[in-house]
Each structure stands twice: as C-alpha cells, then as structure tokens.
Amino acid sequence: MNFTRAICIALVIVLVSFLDLTNAVVEEEIKVACVLTELKPCLPAVKTGGNPSTECCGKLKEQQSCLCGYKQNPVIGPYLKNAQRILGACGVPIPTC
C-alpha cells in the first residue's frame, strides 16, 4: 500500500513539474522584444513596393504582437503606408488597433 502511494505521489510530482515547464516555455514564446530594426529585411518591399522577402515575412510573424505599437508611433507610423500590402503578402493578419 505504501509503495503504491509513493508511486502515485511521484507521478503527480512529475506531471506538475512537466506542466510548469510547459507554461514557462509558452510564456517565453509570448514575450517578444519589439525591436524595429529587426524589420530591416522589409525595407526593400516598403521602399520599392515590391514583394517582401521570406526573411521579411518571418520577422513580421515574429513581431506580430508589436505591430500596433509601431503603427501608433508618430515617428514610424507614416512610413507604414505599404504595411497592409506587405502583411497580406506574408500571410500576417492586419492588426486592429
């Protein structure tokens, strides 16, 4: 009886530890540093109106949670005229800010 109880307790501890690690990974993925210079690969598409590169699309997807902040920034906002076209070409949803 004590052996079974010990196994059950050990199993519960392992499961709780696993869930805690899973939460830590999920929280880490949600936190993204909003660094505008990370979007440098998108400059050619913004300047020329051409198609965005694969690297640009990847960076946009990484910084998706930052897009409203960029758009609302009075210094950066005016330069984002092509943003909807580029976001659409990359398959990134247009944020509603």
b/e sequence 10-43, b meaning 16+ C-beta within 10 Å: eeeeeeeeeeeeeeeeeeeeeeeeeeeebbebbe
- What value does the mean pLDDT take over residues 91-95? 89
Q: Is the pTM of this model over 0.85?
A: no
Query: Amino acid identity, residue 84?
Result: Q
pLDDT on residue 30: 60
φ/ψ of 44, rounded to 5, equals -60, -40
Q: Contact at 8 Å (CB) between 50 and 16? A: no
pLDDT on residue 68: 87
Q: What is the pLDDT of residues 9-68, one digit of tens each?
A: 434 344 444 444 444 444 445 667 888 899 999 989 888 888 999 999 999 999 999 988
Q: Quote the tokens at residue 80.
A: 């984002």
More confident residue, 80 or 83: 83
50: helix, strand or coil: coil
More confident residue, 32 or 71: 71
Residue 79 has pLDDT above 60, yes or no: yes
4 pLDDT band, cuts 50/70/90, is very low
